[in-house]
Each structure stands twice: as C-alpha cells, then as structure tokens.
Structure 1
Amino acid sequence: MMLVTSAAWFEASLASARGTANTQGHLQAFHAADAALASCAQMALANTTTALPDVAGEPEGWRRAATFEARAQTPATQWPGSLRPPQCLIEGWQLATRPDARAWLITARGFGTTLASQAWLQLTLVVEDGRTERHWRQIVARPF
C-alpha cells in the first residue's frame, strides 16, 4: 500500500513539474513576443523599417508560413532562454473607412525553450491627424 501511495505522489510531482515547465516556456515566449511587438511598433512609427505593401483588406501575410519566414524581422538577435529570437512581421493596411490614416498590422512571434512553446501577439497601429491608436490582441491558435 505504501508503495502504491508513493508511486502516486511521485507521478503527481512529475505532472506538476511538467506543468510548471510548460507555463514557464509559455511566459518566456510571451515576453519575447511582447518585446518584439514593442520594438517593431517603434520601427514602424519611425519609418525605419520596411513593411509589406499596403493591402485594402485585413493583411493576411502573417497567416502564411512562407511569407512570415521570408519577411519577418528579428528585432533582437537573441532572447534569454529562448530557442530562437523573437520575430515580427509588419504589414501595411489601407483602411477603407479612413483614407487619410496610415495603418499597420504588426504580428510578433516569441519562442520559449522549445519550438512548441510559441506565443503570437498582434498590434494594429493607426496614425491619423497626429494621433496614434494602438489595438492589441493575443493570437490563441498558431496560424501555422
């Protein structure tokens, strides 16, 4: 009986340790993506980077692996504890209802200690009449 109880406690400890490691990997990826998002937003606002050309509808380049891998920027050469440095893709956006506005959809991907631990974040920047609007969202399901 003691052996069975010990084995059960050991399994519970292992499961708890795995859960903690997964949470840590996700937080690592989230912070990397958040830093990349902030850096790329600054680059877009300062016009110090090349964005994908403006599109009339919502930009979709971030959903395609080939486009993201080929055109994504790496604002930091490395991120502490991450498998890969964070990346971001800046896409121009023509807003039909606001023709005088300049807009970008910025998508960032951060990594944890494994490729499976990824976090995806997006920021929509709209500049009009000297004002900057920021709309942030987390992407729950990886696009590819």
Structure 2
Amino acid sequence: MTAASPEALSDRSVVLSLQEITEELGDTDPARTPLDADEAQSLVTALMAAGGERARTFGIAGEDGRRAARQLLVHLLQDPDTSSRAAEVLSDPPADEQMSVEAALVGTVLLGALVAWLQTKVDIRIHRRDGHTEFDFRLRKEAAPPGLLRELAATVARLLGGTRE
C-alpha cells in the first residue's frame, strides 16, 4: 500500500499521524525525554542555540502549528532514519470524525514529534537541578558528521518557520 501524501491529509489526520509516529520513535526514559511542552520547547530552543541559530519564539499553535506539523510529517517521510515508520503510518493514516484540531493538541504533538525525531539523530540528556532544566546534546559516534548540531538546528528552524540571521 502506498503512503498518503501529507498535503492531502486533513489537519486532524496530520496530527494523529505525527502522534502515532512519535509513539513508535519515542523514548520513554523520563531522565532523557521531556515530560511536558515547556521542557520540549526549551529543548528545541537549546538545540537551536547550540547549532548557531538565533534564539527566538516560534509558533506552535494555530495556523503556524498546523503548517509546521505538516512540514514535519513531510520531513519524517524523507528522512532515512524515520521514512519507513512514517510511510507505514501513512499507508493507512489515522482519521476520526472530529472536524477541528485543538491548538494545544497541535503544539503538544508537534513538540513531541520534533523531540522524537531529534532523538534519532543525537543523544539528548536532561539535567534538572534547583528548578532549572539543562540539556546536553551528545553526538553518536557512527552518525556524527561535523556540523550535525548546526544542520539539525537549521532544519528545526526551517520546519518551525524561522529564518537564520
């Protein structure tokens, strides 16, 4: 069966597809994986800073979030580390009868999917101390070309609608 085109899916099917792919990619170790949307957004911001991208606030709700979710789904289909999982999900995309997608759900799923995708590229360590969260990005030896963090940060910025300055 052929994978459905992300452009042809409803917003709801895009979010549900990302959610399913994220569950398959996800790491459930709470010492390594953000537990909430604030930590996930902080992780994405920290990665962008580590990769030389200008720190900025990015839209994960409303039209910005729906656009970014669709772009991320396209990216997951093209990425060698996630393409088979994404194609499998999109060969029979999830759908339901709900007509609209709640903005909070889009943002949460989008951040979760971004973090799950990043974990296919780098080892993310989370340290929580005195109410602060710090992130370490460790490159995997077999997949650590020079500039990997810059490349990942640029990809995340592009997916979220950012521009490099």
Q: TM-score normalized by structure 2?
A: 0.24
Structure richer in helix, relative to its length: 2
Select the structure with the greater relative contact order (CA < 8 A; seq sep ≥ 6). 2
Structure richer in strand, relative to its length: 1
Larger radius of gyration: 1
